[in-house]
């Protein structure tokens, strides 16, 4: 018993003193400055005091809100610099304001940065996609994304419009005879956004949705009260007034949501439900995912769906109300922009109800909303944590450091936005927003889905859906392999029953089972002369059977590829074409976005050859401009950045003799950017260099390796 107490005491001392002091010394040694660690609380007490002082003062009629909203962080940055550290209890928080470093943190390419572990109180508030990480986050994102597809969101526009009409009618009724009234728009917009999200999230269950949002609003207030104090493990289990209230609200919210979900699931099973609200779309997407994945990789449980529904509230309710409120305030301070916005809306819609296409033409309104979001972002900070040692911007951060990305400070930084950073000036967005027919799109996941669909159809034909499932599994397998490959390989380690190893073995078994079943079905159909060989799998099996017959093979003595060989080739379909094609398409779109003249030339050529007809194979060879562009993109951004070969005997290459056991690294990316081979403009986008073909594009023949080289022409995924 004494040993257990001592061990527990040592852990507590490590948590509240030794570890913070170690991290403080490490940060100081890396040239960072910040506040000194104070036992247990760190800067929490100072933060609370400064916040109370700031809120006790009246709000100035300006947009300089940083001293009021983030007083402690504002003071630390002024005193110690933009990259400085403070203390959230016993954990250090390093502020990062450099845009490149912020992007690097959020992209998490190393895999060692993630969301900090939240206190158990968060479970009573919400979890869902914003809370998860790793495999669960990836699975939920795959399920939720289709529910938020643009075409499906368009169906909800009438619900938005109805709620807006009701709000305007209500305000019209409050106007006095002199044509004016005083209105607290914050409470109005809180109620309005709650109505909108209730309608779009729960449809016919609108009233129950309203009750859920009322309860969630109370829960949020209680959570804020509890979060102002240092979190003590186990404290939430004590029967305090706040704890009891939060648990009671949590139980009621879960009960209401569970009832709505169960009713909707029954209606869907009976074929009587419409999927024109977020809940219906989410359940539909979840059902489809479960059917495609089978029993081994289930979709979301009812409890998971409950958490995502609670996230609907926190993801859109208060954030939308904040945006609308500040927009009203800012426009009242800038009557010129208010008039320009009104004029644009009347010009586009006149007295008609808004439609989706018209919303895309509201350039002035979009500029105003972007500027309000810059000055008054709904989320003022983003926090990530280092779970292993990480290098960012030339600084190595030790494990256990919180990285705070002060969005509000970055949005008001004159170095990033100019001397008028603290002023309302929507004109700064003029060049970034098109006049009409535009949208912001992350093309990388779009092209990943697109190439997966193309290869599924081309490789597996009538087994398209099963092929999609195989590619989903292979994508997950590749992500796991990339994580494992970051560590030193230890022989035999893959046999240990770790979480990653178990999942990788499970995926491999499921992929092999899917492919094995498809191959057997196709072979049986071929023997009965009932199968068409218009996909890669059919052509491969047909070629293999023909080869085996020519070599005198029989069913018992197969001289061609075995079933396992065919399975491996099918798995290669994915790796050889999926990611590589996605990389090419993504960089092509990005580069053409940077060079509109080449974009125009490519469009003109395609229209000249095909007009409005569908593309056909013979015409592809006539797309000279498009081919030049694709070659240049492959030169600048080859899907495989390097090739490795190994000497297994002593070999002479050039003037050097290499002994056996040496790896030869062929850095294709370096070669493609070398001015000695490509000229002084080697790092510039210039498709004209391929005008006379590949052989004359470079100074030295044989320096273009878009997909590797040699007899195998192997593709490399990075």
Residue 627 located in a structural domain: no
Residue 186 belongs to domain spanning:
134-333
Neighbours of 214 (CB within 10 A): 13
Give the orientation angle of helix 335-349 with respect to helix 363-375, to 10 degrees.
Answer: 140
pLDDT score of 645: 92
Q: Looking at the structure, tell me whether residues 460 and 325 fall in a common domain.
A: no
Q: Looking at the structure, tell me whether residues 303 and 165 fall in a common domain.
A: yes
pLDDT band at 296 (very low <50, low <70, confident <90, very high): low
Is residue 123 within a helix (H) or strand (E), and if so which, with residue range?
Answer: helix 121-125
**Can you tell me the mean pLDDT for 192-208?**
78
Choose among 309, 313, 315: nearest CA to 378: 315
The dihedral through the CA atoms of 128, 134, 136, 137 has a sign that is positive
> How do strand 113-114 and strand 84-88 relate by DSSP bridges?
unpaired
Contact 94, 397 (CB under 8 A): yes
pLDDT score of 712: 41
pLDDT(434) > 60: no
Helix (H, G, I), strand (E, B), or coil: what is residue 362? coil
Contact 602, 592 (CB under 8 A): yes
pLDDT(555) > 60: no
Q: Looking at the structure, tell me whether residues 587 and 457 fall in a common domain.
A: yes
Residue 665 located in a structural domain: no
Query: Residues near 181 by Cβ (< 8 Å), separated by ≥ 6?
Result: 171, 174, 175
Angstrom distance (rounded) from CA 715 to CA 343: 55
pLDDT tens by residue, 347-394 = 999 888 888 888 888 999 999 999 999 999 999 999 999 998 998 988
Q: Looking at the structure, tell me whether residues 159 and 279 fall in a common domain.
A: yes
**Can you tell me the mean pLDDT for 578-593?**
89
pLDDT band at 179 (very low <50, low <70, confident <90, very high): confident
CA distances from 442 to 356, 375, 498, 636 (A): 20, 24, 34, 21
pLDDT score of 718: 28
Which CATH number characterizes residue 292's domain? 1.10.630.10
pLDDT(714) > 60: no
Q: Looking at the structure, tell me whether residues 325 and 450 fall in a common domain.
A: no
Q: What's the whole-model pTM score?
A: 0.64
Decide which of 594, 615, 650 is a domain's last residue: 594
Q: Looking at the structure, tell me whether residues 313 and 453 fall in a common domain.
A: no
Residue 426 located in a structural domain: no
Decide which of 546, 567, 594 is a domain's last residue: 594
Residue 65 located in a structural domain: no
pLDDT(652) > 80: yes
Q: Looking at the structure, tell me whether residues 458 and 584 fall in a common domain.
A: yes
> How do strand 91-95 and strand 84-88 relate by DSSP bridges?
antiparallel
Cβ burial 27-61 (10 Å sphere, 16+ → b, else e): beeeebebbebeeebbbbebbeebbeebeeeeeee
Query: Residues near 415 by Cβ (< 8 Å), separated by ≥ 6?
Result: none
Q: Looking at the structure, tell me whether residues 456 and 317 fall in a common domain.
A: no
Q: Looking at the structure, tell me whether residues 454 and 590 fall in a common domain.
A: yes
pLDDT score of 533: 66
Residue 398 located in a structural domain: no
Residue 271 located in a structural domain: yes
Lowest-pLDDT choice from 13-22, 220-229, 522-531, 543-552 = 522-531
Contact 435, 259 (CB under 8 A): no
pLDDT score of 228: 67
pLDDT score of 312: 81
pLDDT score of 715: 36
pLDDT score of 265: 85
Q: What are phi and psi of 402, to 5 degrees?
A: -85, 135
Residue 511 located in a structural domain: yes
Choose among 506, 475, 458: nearest CA to 297: 506
pLDDT score of 274: 60
Degrees, nearest 5: CA angle 187-191-195: 165
Q: Looking at the structure, tell me whether residues 304 and 167 fall in a common domain.
A: yes
pLDDT(451) > 90: no
Decide which of 289, 316, 333 is a domain's last residue: 333
pLDDT band at 462 (very low <50, low <70, confident <90, very high): low
Q: Looking at the structure, tell me whether residues 184 and 309 fall in a common domain.
A: yes
pLDDT(220) > 80: yes
Greatest Cα-to-Cα distance within the chain, rounded to the nearest angstrom: 100
Lowest-pLDDT choice from 292-301, 410-419, 445-454 = 292-301
- β-partners of residue 665 are 644
Degrees, nearest 5: CA angle 169-171-175: 115
pLDDT score of 279: 86
pLDDT(496) > 50: yes
> How do strand 33-34 and strand 84-88 relate by DSSP bridges?
parallel
Average pLDDT, the chain: 85
Q: Looking at the structure, tell me whether residues 329 and 455 fall in a common domain.
A: no
Residue 532 located in a structural domain: yes
Angstrom distance (rounded) from CA 287 to CA 265: 10
Choose among 562, 535, 538: nearest CA to 548: 562
Number of separate domains in the chain: 2
């Amino acid at each position: 018993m004494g040993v257990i107490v001592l061990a527990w005491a040592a852990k507590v001392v490590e948590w509240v003193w030794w570890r913070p002091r170690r991290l403080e010394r490490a940060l100081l040694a890396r040239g960072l400055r910040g506040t000194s660690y104070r036992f247990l609380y760190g800067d929490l007490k100072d933060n609370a005091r400064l916040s109370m002082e700031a809120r006790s003062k009246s709000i100035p009629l300006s947009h300089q809100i940083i001293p009021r909203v983030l007083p402690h962080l504002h003071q630390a940055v002024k005193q110690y610099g933009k990259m400085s550290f403070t203390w959230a209890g016993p954990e250090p928080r390093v502020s990062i304001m450099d845009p490149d470093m912020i992007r690097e943190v959020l992209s998490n390419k190393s895999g060692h940065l993630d969301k900090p572990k939240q206190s158990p109180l968060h479970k009573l508030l919400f979890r869902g996609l914003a809370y998860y990480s790793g495999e669960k986050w990836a699975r939920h994102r795959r399920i939720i994304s289709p529910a938020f597809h643009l075409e499906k969101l368009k169906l909800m526009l009438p619900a938005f419009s109805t709620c807006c009409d009701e709000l305007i009618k209500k305000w019209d009724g409050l106007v006095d005879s002199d044509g004016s009234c005083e209105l607290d728009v914050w409470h109005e917009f809180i109620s309005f956004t709650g109505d909108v999200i209730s309608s779009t999230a729960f449809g016919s269950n609108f009233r129950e949705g309203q009750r859920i949002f009322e309860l969630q609003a109370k829960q949020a207030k209680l959570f804020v009260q509890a979060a102002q104090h240092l979190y003590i493990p186990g404290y939430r289990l004590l029967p305090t007034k706040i704890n009891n209230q939060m648990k009671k609200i949590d139980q009621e919210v879960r009960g209401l949501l569970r009832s709505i979900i169960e009713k909707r699931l029954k209606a869907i099973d009976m074929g009587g439900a419409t999927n024109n609200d977020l809940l219906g779309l989410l359940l539909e997407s979840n059902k489809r995912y479960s059917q495609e994945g089978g029993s081994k990789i289930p979709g979301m449980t009812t409890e998971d769906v409950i958490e995502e529904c609670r996230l609907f509230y926190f993801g859109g309710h208060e954030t939308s109300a904040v945006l609308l409120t500040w927009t009203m305030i800012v426009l009242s301070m800038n009557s010129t922009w208010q008039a320009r916005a009104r004029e644009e809306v009347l010009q586009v819609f006149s007295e008609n109800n808004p439609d989706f296409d018209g919303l895309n033409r509201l350039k002035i309104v979009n500029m105003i909303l972007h500027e309000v979001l810059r000055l008054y972002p709904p989320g003022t900070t983003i926090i990530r944590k280092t779970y292993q040692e990480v290098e960012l911007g030339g600084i190595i951060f030790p494990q256990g450091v919180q990285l705070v990305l002060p969005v509000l400070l970055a949005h008001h930084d004159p170095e990033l936005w100019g001397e008028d950073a603290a002023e309302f000036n929507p004109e700064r967005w003029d060049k970034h927003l098109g006049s009409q027919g535009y949208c912001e799109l992350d093309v990388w996941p779009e092209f990943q889905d697109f190439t997966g669909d193309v290869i599924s159809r081309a490789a597996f034909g009538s087994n398209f859906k099963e092929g999609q499932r195989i590619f989903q599994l292979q994508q997950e397998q590749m992500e796991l392999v990339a994580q494992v490959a970051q560590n030193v390989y230890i022989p035999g380690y893959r046999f240990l029953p770790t979480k990653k190893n178990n999942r990788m073995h499970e995926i491999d078994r499921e992929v092999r089972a899917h492919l094995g079943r498809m191959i057997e079905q196709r072979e049986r159909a071929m023997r009965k002369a009932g199968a068409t060989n218009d996909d890669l799998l059919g052509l491969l099996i047909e070629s293999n059977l023909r080869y085996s017959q020519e070599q005198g093979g029989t069913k018992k003595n197969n001289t061609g590829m075995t079933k396992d060989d065919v399975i491996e080739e099918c798995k290669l379909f994915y790796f050889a074409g999926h990611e590589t094609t996605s990389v090419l398409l993504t960089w092509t779109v990005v580069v053409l976005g940077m060079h509109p003249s080449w974009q125009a030339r490519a469009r003109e050529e395609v229209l000249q050859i095909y007009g409005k007809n569908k593309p056909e194979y013979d015409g592809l060879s006539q797309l000279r401009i498009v081919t030049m562009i694709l070659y240049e993109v492959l030169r600048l951004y080859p899907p495989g950045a390097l090739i490795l070969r190994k000497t297994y005997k002593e070999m002479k290459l050039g003037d050097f003799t290499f002994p056996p056991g040496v790896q030869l690294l062929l850095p294709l990316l370096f070669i493609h950017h070398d001015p000695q081979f490509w000229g002084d403009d080697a790092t510039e986008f210039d498709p004209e260099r391929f005008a006379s073909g590949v052989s004359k594009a470079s100074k030295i023949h044989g320096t273009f390796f878009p997909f590797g080289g040699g007899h195998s022409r192997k593709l490399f995924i990075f």
